[in-house]
Structure 1
């Protein structure tokens, strides 16, 4: 048993490594925004178009990825996505022109969001039993945060060591690419046992990809799980605006702005995922129940943020309050896929189910920032931020309602299953 457990967690670590690196090339702007402008010859608008193209292709291809993950072995689609992203990165390191970059960023969406992500979620679900889903997905999110941070800072360090010029930027891109390829190859060999023995993989051949997609679409519980993810994600998108809010309202110094951003985007991700998984599995016994309670907790936390006096004397209090709010959201992000098991979504169609859920759940990424940004432009100053935070609070209230319905439907389904079996 100990040997089996060790292999299970070894596979988990490799999957987490993939999850923490496969998006690095598509998100070069996180650490290399200025080098992208200087050495790829891009304007701000062109970088925005590249990101939009990547997001649009990603959203459109989630369902296709779910179809493929039910039709083919997880190790094949995951490995193909990782190696494909790495090869694209190698070409990207030659600094191609803008038209070529448009194609490359669309291709990165094919590799990461179509081939990789739905298959990763399915593989993580199959690694854990029904009592471990919260922890598995929580540790996935936390582990991705660790890998994300280590790889990003390593690439940034390489860039600096190489002179912070075009050579350093090329070296950083190649580093991301090589890591993707190596992790992809490792995943192919390490997950071979899982593909051979996992019940989900044995059953997947019994249902064609298209039939699995049709079954998934007809499941009301899947749409509730997807909407639950949607509500968490639309609130999560609003966390971005805590950084300019603290700078504008409390006069946060430039150095503290950078430190706050790292903690808010990386540190809380590392802590929030495992914490959410632990609370879901050990304290609440249900990811759905935990997410509902967390939505409730966001309301008074946001009230504190809105009621704090807007002057530098309350800077530390503002930082603590916003970080507390963000931590709760990150614990929810860590487990918002765990209800798949709890809701009784059949394992043999989990790839298609994750594809549909990703399409719906991550949809706020296409419009939430535009809405929040429009509010800030329409209402300059602290008023705009208060409107944004008020909208986030309204979304949390709707999230409570969605989680309530999902919990009730899930309880009804569990109660009906034994009777049906009898």
Structure 2
């Protein structure tokens, strides 16, 4: 069998790793449908589960809090057990939690279910998935593999979401239809979990310390966690992701911007949302991966360049006379900016390979990246929303956009330092 230094199959065996990658994409595209139930069934959840806006919001807050705290523990867990078990266990766990949700539990049960979904999906699954994806590609393919992951998630996500909506409609858009949709999400993710158990390969779990002495899996996992925490390059990647995500959170406010300033018709809101949610993800992933691998030859360099493009593009948007412009021009401008950010979001974990994170601590590195990188979700939406509430109209949106420019500038400096760190590491 032909392998490279990372243990990745090459030559005629390369088809095996692409098959494994396809299984990983199936899981990544299905596991978060239940925690994102509001995206497809917000109003039915209110009607048939008796939930208010505040109660749904509280469930999402519980999810976020458990995610943030849990990722700290994930730094240890993600390299302690084989990815075969972690991935399949979390997928099946999410599915079983979904079956419980389909019973329309009490509000306390609803909150508990979202806490459990966060544990399975964000704490156990996500860092291990990123680790597994990294290991399916060579160093030269990292941008593309993460780009394909994002695009594949978009395709699977779209198919599964519309299938659930079709079930809901076929069952009369009723309480039974909502249960049917939830059970469909649950069944799909359980099936993918079972498939993953048989088809995702094992990890070699480290049982030795840095000097080769046998110390046991628990001690080795703890030592790996501390090694990852002390590796400054991982934190530089994490804060690069943090900067991208701060800008990404601002994309949420393009729809109210177009509605308030351009008076976007209701018929266009749905079309814009579909393109923004699914289209940009499917296109931005492969494009970002290709540009990173083939044009800049470095994901870190691509992210740095994209921060410059994003800052310039948003500066132009801020300066335009939006009150006198055509709605389709506004849609094109905002979608174009969104596309830039989606190309960055698709590949922002790929620099973990450029900084030469050891294979045995890949899971811990991805956990740190997720903990820091996704932290903006705890404050950015509140920050942007408060700006719009305190300063209504175009002035408020310009404040949001200028803040996004500021985060892009910060991201440029952090990613520039990351490029410097990578260059020094390569010369060492």
Instruction: Provide the secondary structure at the position in 2 that maps to 1:204.
Output: coil
CA distance in 1, matches of 2:205, 2:176: 49
Task: Tell whether the 8 Å contact from 1:234 to 1:392 is kept in structure 2 after alignment.
Answer: yes
Cα distance in structure 2, aligned partners of 1:262 and 1:181: 27
CA–CA distance in structure 2, aligned partners of residues 356 and 394 of structure 1: 24
Q: Which residue of 1 aligns with 2:289?
A: 277
How many Å apart are 1:54 and its aligned residue? Answer: 0.5
Gaps of 5+ in 1: 196-200, 417-422
1:114 aligns with 2:161: no
Which residues in structure 2 correspond to 1:48-63 (within 5 Å)?
A: 48-63=57-72
- Number of residues paired by the alignment? 409
1:337 aligns with 2:343: no
Task: Indicate if the aligned counterparts of 2:257 and 2:397 stay in contact, CA closer than 8 A.
Answer: yes
Counterpart of 1:136 in structure 2 is 145
Partners in 1 of 2:141 and 2:325 — Cα distance?
44
Paired position in structure 2 for 1:152: 161
CA distance in 2, matches of 1:236, 1:277: 18
Deviations along 1:315-359, one digit per CA (max 9) or x if unpaired, are: 111111111100000000110000000011111111111111111
Which residue of structure 1 aligns with residue 23 of structure 2? 14
Q: Does 1:362 align with 2:374?
A: yes
TM-score, normalized by length of structure 2?
A: 0.94
CA contact (8 A) 1:66 1:119 kept: no
RMSD (Å) for aligned C-alpha atoms:
1.2
Q: Which residue in 1 is equivalent to 2:44?
A: 35
Contact kept, 8 Å, 1:272 with 1:334, in 2: the verdict is yes
Output aligned runs, 1:149-228, within 5 Å: 149-192=158-201, 195=202, 201-202=203-204, 204-206=206-208, 208-228=220-240
1:221 & 1:260 partners in 2: Cα distance?
Answer: 38
Post-superposition offset of 1:67: 1.9
Shift of 1:187: 0.6
2:88 is equivalent to residue 79 of structure 1: yes
Please show how residues 221-370 of structure 1 align to structure 2 within 5 Å: 221-311=233-323, 313-370=325-382
Return the offset for 1:149: 1.0
Residue 54 of structure 2, aligned match among 35, 45, 58: 45
SS in 2 for 1:206: coil
Runs of 5+ consecutive residues of structure 2 not aligned to the other structure: 1-9, 210-219
The 3 A distance-change label for structure 1 pair 310 and 151 is same
Alignment deviations for residues 88-143 of structure 1 (CA, whole Å, 9 cap, x no partner):
00111010010111111000011101111111011001111111111111101111
Alpha-carbon distance between aligned partners in 1 of 2:47 and 2:221, rounded to the nearest angstrom: 44
Structure with a larger share of its residues in helix: 1
What's the offset of the Cα at 1:305? 1.6
Distance 1:3 1:289 in 2: 32
More deviation, 59-68/397-406: 59-68
